[in-house]
A and B are shown apart, each in its own frame.
Chain A
């Protein structure tokens, strides 16, 4: 067990709707990263939050947004859902500091299906 939890485990939405996914970081971790994993592919980086601020973003449109809260839990919001947003969404937490181990620990993921 990594101590990283995600909710919900599964979700079905229709095109155009909005969705919020949640992640609870491992205790003591200050950084959370979100990844999208399409079927049969490796995870792709969406964005990263460090101490409640976004400090990195992958090649995803602005309709993908997020938040990190003072307790370092996080949300991923996706607006105007498209069929291609169907994927496994992974949250990973880490304790990032200069010289740190840079090890990210993953939650079990949320499987999103957009119809």
Chain B
């Protein structure tokens, strides 16, 4: 079974600075999908960024980018120019590419605080 580990329960960053959230995963599959979701106090789980394992190029969405290291099974999220609205819980998640029973497997999350 796949597992996802987020080793940083809490992180903080100054406004306008850059922060990196760590995520490692364990799988025997060669193809899969990785996601970062943001969950603000409003509770809604919002997709931040998605990476397909077969793509070597790291995904980027505006101020958010990932460092995907397939051999190391590492998938970190970098937030540049941090804003107060970035404060939230961030979850790393894995999903198998196969059809059928393929739920998201989540890490325990990292709580990000942004300091003005």
B contact face: mostly helix, strand, loop, or mixed: loop
Q: What residues make up the interface of A, taking CB atoms closer than 8 Å to B?
A: 2, 33, 35, 41-45, 48, 50, 55-58, 88, 90, 92, 96-99, 101-109, 111
| Known pairs A42-B109, A55-B101; A103 contacts B42 (CB<8 A) | no
Instruction: Sample 12 A-B pairs with CB under 8 A, ordered by A number.
Output: A33-B104, A43-B45, A45-B103, A45-B105, A48-B101, A48-B102, A56-B103, A58-B103, A92-B45, A102-B97, A104-B95, A109-B43
Question: Please, which residues of chain A bring their CB within 8 A of the CB of B47?
Answer: 103, 105
- How far, in Å, is A10 (CB) from chain B's closest CB? 11
- Determine if B68 is an interface residue (Cβ-Cβ < 8 Å): no
A105 to B44, CA, bound (A): 10
Closest-CB distance, A80 to chain B (whole angstroms): 24
Which residues on A sit within 8 Å (CB–CB) of B4?
42
